């Protein structure tokens, strides 16, 4: 046999042996529960995880590695992630898994950093996220019962699981990836349905797609009644609770449902969520580290929720009942700030972890530099009512009675409802939503004159004036769907009839507004100057100006090294609205309500090669107008303000404090 042939044969044999060895090693990877000794076993060896929650959908892909590395250097062995269905399937059958939506890449990054992954793919996730991660288009079926064995719901869930779970299977630990456990549903015991057929359906579909070797688990608050409805045989039951809870008693509740196996707190709260109009929530570092130490001293596995909160960009924030929307910042008072900065809490948590296991050596990535770019002047572009041909190019929908956002297939943002006054309203006449049918906030004008606001919670009647036949406009804002509890089937828009002087208003013309597409092509906006702007100044004694877009530009010098950098935008004199920079929807601002006064601006959306374009949609009252001397400005600063003093309703606060959800904080 020629020498070259012998060499090729030997190489081929070696390659085949290496391949077989690799397959053998992959097949030897195991992650399982040791019920006899109340622990996990990884590859046959005792294992305990200390994990932290990070939401890849709240952190730009540009910063994924930075945040994961900081988590690694804190001593964490794992990260816990949700997968929001609506983030990946915003329209039925239209899937998004690239760029900021590339969950597989995120998991692979964690794997490269030798972080394990605890996967929580829903289908419901809560997470203070729009509709708890469920897509709003599910509500097109009016009778649908979410999170139940309702056939329409199960059919949609089954299709989604058939998309997401096969993507996750190669990433399971047993298959060479980092995913060690997978949660089924989320805090199901806190939902009214208590539908075991639904949980059994999910269990079967998870097993079908992921196999029998992966550990499937559930998470519920530390109340027996919650675990009774939230658990199922074959799904390992875990609990969640924050500092201030009796740890021994909390784990005794877990033990009632899992007499053997590892103790697990799947959500140890490092902070808490915020609502517009309420003080910024904080949990002291001392309380967090004390409870964390005691939990680890119990030998428990723990996940810190959140380790970094991130940002509710665009329209992704959720809400709670009685209706209170969450702000754009999801800082959560976590060990890493919204902008990924190291905090006192970060280093204190690292010190506690260091007492129980080795933490990585080497430098911790520093907080990213911030830059104050200063003030930027804005000028009025157009009022919303003058821009309907751009914002709604396909034209309006006509209906005798109002249609909801779902009925016009508008899932986020804004819809303008228009009709005419059927009677003369020379004197203030009550415009009412007697069934509290404005979801969530309506900005009302008559013939281009602002009249005021109707609000889901607090203002269901507004006195208006105008002549018979005048145009009545209501710009309705979806402020975020309820993400927790029994009311997640949260319809938006005008969900019931409006009355004028007790007579039902009819003959509506409805404009679903595609702000995202319109603002990507600004050239179509120029030409016709705003005809309503003088009107706005004439009526400047009013508390309101017409909802309108404002635009400005600022340049970042390319000759200064290391620019652009992260920054924060604040809104002096502005009231409430939405802001975009270079077409990127940063989210909602509401300094008139607080506590959040600045919005985080990540550096990757800024450029030095051309002017940066800022567009503000002010909904209530702008600080300027055409023929009034005061300028409209926004300001870029290098420090966030998310905990300003607020004025809020004690009634709403009392109701929220009574919510059972707080029982397991």
**Dihedral over Cα of 527, 530, 534, 537: its sign:** negative
- 264 beta partners: 301
b/e map of 305-330 (b: 16 or more CB within 10 Å)?
bbbbbbbbbbbbbbbbbebbbbbbbb
- The H-or-E segment that residue 328 falls in is none
- The H-or-E segment that residue 648 falls in is none
Residue by residue, DSSP assigns 525-581 as G-SS--SSHHHHHHTTTSS----EEEEEEE---TTSTT-S-BEEEE-TT--SEEEEE
Alpha-carbon distance of 530 to 518, in angstroms, equals: 17
As a whole number of Å, the end-to-end CA separation of the chain is 75
Asked about 385 being catalytic, the answer comes back as no
Asked about 187 being catalytic, the answer comes back as yes
| Alpha carbon 427 to chain centroid, angstroms | 44
- Three-state DSSP at 230 gives helix
Out of 89, 185, 187, 338, which one is annotated catalytic? 187
In terms of DSSP H, where are the helices of 355-506?
Answer: 388-391
Closest CA to 333 of 307, 314, 313: 307
Alpha-carbon distance of 514 to 393, in angstroms, equals: 9
Alpha-carbon distance of 416 to 65, in angstroms, equals: 41
User: Phi and psi (nearest 5°) for 354?
Assistant: -60, -25
**List of residues 6+ apart from 442 with CB closer than 8 A:** 417, 453, 454, 455, 474, 475, 476, 477, 494
Closest CA to 413 of 619, 615, 132: 619
SS3 letters for 282-301? CCCHHHHHHHHHHHHHCCCE
Out of 267, 385, 386, 618, which one is annotated catalytic? 267
b/e map of 212-241 (b: 16 or more CB within 10 Å)?
eebbbbbbbbbbeebbebbbbeebbbbbbb
Active-site amino acid positions: 187, 267
């Amino acid at each position: 046999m020629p020498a070259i042939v012998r060499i090729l044969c030997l190489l081929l044999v070696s390659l085949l042996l290496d391949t077989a060895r690799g397959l053998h090693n992959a097949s030897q990877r195991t992650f399982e529960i040791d019920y006899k000794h109340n622990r996990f076993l990884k590859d046959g060896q005792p294992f305990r995880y200390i994990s932290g929650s990070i939401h890849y959908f709240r952190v730009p892909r540009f910063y994924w590695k930075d945040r994961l590395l900081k988590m690694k250097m804190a001593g964490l062995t794992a990260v816990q992630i949700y997968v929001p269905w609506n983030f990946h399937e915003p329209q039925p059958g239209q899937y998004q898994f690239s760029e900021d939506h590339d969950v597989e890449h995120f998991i692979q990054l964690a794997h490269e950093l030798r972080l394990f992954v605890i996967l929580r793919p829903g289908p419901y996730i809560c997470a203070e996220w729009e509709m708890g991660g469920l897509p709003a288009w599910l509500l097109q079926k009016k009778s649908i019962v979410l999170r139940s064995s309702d056939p329409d719901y199960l059919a949609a869930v089954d299709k989604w699981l058939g998309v997401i779970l096969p993507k996750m299977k190669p990433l399971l630990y047993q298959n060479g990836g980092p995913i060690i456990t997978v949660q089924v549903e989320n805090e199901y015991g806190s939902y009214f349905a208590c539908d075991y057929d639904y949980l059994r359906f999910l269990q079967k579909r998870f097993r079908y797609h992921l196999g029998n070797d992966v550990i499937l688990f559930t998470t519920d608050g530390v109340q027996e009644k919650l675990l009774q409805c939230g658990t199922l045989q074959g799904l390992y039951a875990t609990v969640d609770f924050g500092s201030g809870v009796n740890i021994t008693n909390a784990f005794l509740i877990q033990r009632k449902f899992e007499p053997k196996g590892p103790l697990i707190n799947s959500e140890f709260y490092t902070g808490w969520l915020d609502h517009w109009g309420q003080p910024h929530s904080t949990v002291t570092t001392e309380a967090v580290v004390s409870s964390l130490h005691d939990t680890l001293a119990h030998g428990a596995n723990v996940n810190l929720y959140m380790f970094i909160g991130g940002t509710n960009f665009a329209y992704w924030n959720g809400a709670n009942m009685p209706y209170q929307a969450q702000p754009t910042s999801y800082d959560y008072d976590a060990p890493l700030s919204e902008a990924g900065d190291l905090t006192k809490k970060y280093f204190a948590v690292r010190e506690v972890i260091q007492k129980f296991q080795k933490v990585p050596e080497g430098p911790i990535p520093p907080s990213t530099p911030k830059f104050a770019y200063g003030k930027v002047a804005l000028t009025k572009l157009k009022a919303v009512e003058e821009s309907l041909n751009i914002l709604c190019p396909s034209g309006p929908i006509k209906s005798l009675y109002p249609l909801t956002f779902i009925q016009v297939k508008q899932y986020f943002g804004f819809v303008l409802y228009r009709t005419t006054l059927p009677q003369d309203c020379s004197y203030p006449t009550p415009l009412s939503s007697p069934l509290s049918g404005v979801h969530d906030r309506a900005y009302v004008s008559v013939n281009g004159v602002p009249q005021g606001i109707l609000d889901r919670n607090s203002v269901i009647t507004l006195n208006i004036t105008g002549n018979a036949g005048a145009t009545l406009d209501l710009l309705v804002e979806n402020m975020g769907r309820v993400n927790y509890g029994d009311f997640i089937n949260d319809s938006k828009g005008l969900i019931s009839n409006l009355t004028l002087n007790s007579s039902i208003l009819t003959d509506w013309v409805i404009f679903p507004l595609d702000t995202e597409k319109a603002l990507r092509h600004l050239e179509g906006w120029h030409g016709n100057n705003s005809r309503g702007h003088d009107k706005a100044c004439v009526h400047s004694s009013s508390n309101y100006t017409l909802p309108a877009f404002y635009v400005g530009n600022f340049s970042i010098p390319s000759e200064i090294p290391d620019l652009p950098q992260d920054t924060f935008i604040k809104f002096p004199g502005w009231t409430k609205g939405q802001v975009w920079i270079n077409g990127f929807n940063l989210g909602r601002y509401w300094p008139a309500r607080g506590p959040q006064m600045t919005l985080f601006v990540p550096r990757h959306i800024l450029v030095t090669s051309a002017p940066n374009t800022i567009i503000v949609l002010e909904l209530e009252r702008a600080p300027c107008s055409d023929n009034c001397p005061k300028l409209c400005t926004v300001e870029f600063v290098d420090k966030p303000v998310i905990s300003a003093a607020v004025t809020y309703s004690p009634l709403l606060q009392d109701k929220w404090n009574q919510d059972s959800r707080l029982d397991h904080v």
